Amino acid sequence: MTVAYHRMFRALPTYRWYRPVLAAVMAVVFYVVFSGAVGLGISAVLTAVAGPTEADRVFGALRADPLDASEPVVMLLSLGSIATMLPAVLLATRLAGLGGAGRLSSVAGRMRWGWLARCIVPAVVFMALTLLLSSVVAPLLVGESLGSGPVTTPPSALVWSLIIIVLLVPLQATAEEFAFRGFAMQALGSWIAWPVVAIVVPTIAFAAAHAYNPWGLADVAVFGVAAAWLTWRTGGLEAAIVAHVLNNVVLFVLLAPFAGTPSSDGSPVGLIVTLITTPVYLWLVLRAFGRSGVDRSSPDGLSGAALPRRRGAGEAVGRAS
């Protein structure tokens, strides 16, 4: 009997209904501790180097705008804190007896790096189309001028913020995927076999975790549903991780020069763009997946080995993520 991605916890011989609950509680505790340690550590360094007044100013800027690129330390605090969600979830899952990172990664029991690499081209097309529609086509249709206005982030701050974005956004986005598309889907799937529940409920939590306006929340929810569906359909987090990382890196980099831009404010036009571009990504990923030879389910849900559906050129990417 094959086991779908969202049912991987249930397939464990040691599974008990309460283990996902225990893991969730531990993950929250670990996240509070780890993210708090990041904040305390940076606060201690700031206080020692620049004094308590500067530390208070930086944390005030953090509360005002968590993604203020004119304050590199603010970016470090925000992205670094969210990134600790990854070790929190992995440690909690392991201690609760639900397996390690591999079981959350895919039905193969590991990150399928070859498959992950195949998702890069679809993600690049997805982002290029998104930028074209949102930055060129949409402004022309609604009669707005092209461009984002004057650069407001000081050059030195911009350099540091860009470095932090490139280094930490992949960890931040991956952490959210392991938490909302990995653990949450498998936890719900261990109780309810119907995949719609494992797709929709974590997406609601994912959207609620973002302090966006209603249009922004809807935008995030569309991505969340697509990422969750792809995770279930392809049997792993790879496609969701690639799209999430590329989307966040590109958007954060593009917004970084314009400090003060309300990056969390969505719009009807932005939502329409997402509704257009997301199905394109789904189609491209499914097209690549159909040619990859990678399994979407585990033959037993226990051994962590996914067998190729067919031999040949696709066999080489059997361990892609």
- Residue-wise pLDDT for 183-196, tens only, equals 999 999 999 999 99
Distance CA(295)–CA(310), nearest Å, equals: 9
What are the phi and psi torsion angles at 101 (to 5°)? -65, -35
Cβ atoms of 126 and 280 within 8 Å: the answer is yes
- Residue-wise pLDDT for 243-277, tens only, equals 999 999 999 999 999 876 655 568 898 999 999 99
Distance CA(217)–CA(167), nearest Å, equals: 26
Q: Is 229 helix (H, G, I), strand (E, B) or coil?
A: helix
Distances, alpha carbon 58 to alpha carbons 37, 137, 240, in Å: 17, 38, 33
In the chain, which residues have pLDDT < 70?
A: 142-149, 260-265, 301-321
Paired tokens of 191 = 């109780």
Distances, alpha carbon 60 to alpha carbons 74, 80, 117, in Å: 9, 17, 40
Paired tokens of 3 = 């086991």
Q: Report residue 204 CA to chain centroid gap.
A: 14
Paired tokens of 71 = 């304050």
Distance CA(202)–CA(173), nearest Å, equals: 15
| 288, amino acid identity | A
- CA-based max dimension of the chain: 64
Cβ atoms of 168 and 80 within 8 Å: the answer is yes
Paired tokens of 45 = 């360094």
Cβ atoms of 122 and 278 within 8 Å: the answer is no
| pLDDT (0 to 100) of residue 144 | 64
4: which strand partners? 297
Paired tokens of 307 = 């067998």
* Full-model pTM: 0.90
- Alpha helix (H) residue ranges in the chain: 19-50, 52-64, 72-83, 85-95, 101-105, 113-118, 120-132, 138-142, 155-176, 184-191, 195-208, 214-234, 238-255, 268-292
Domain ranges of the chain: 3-317
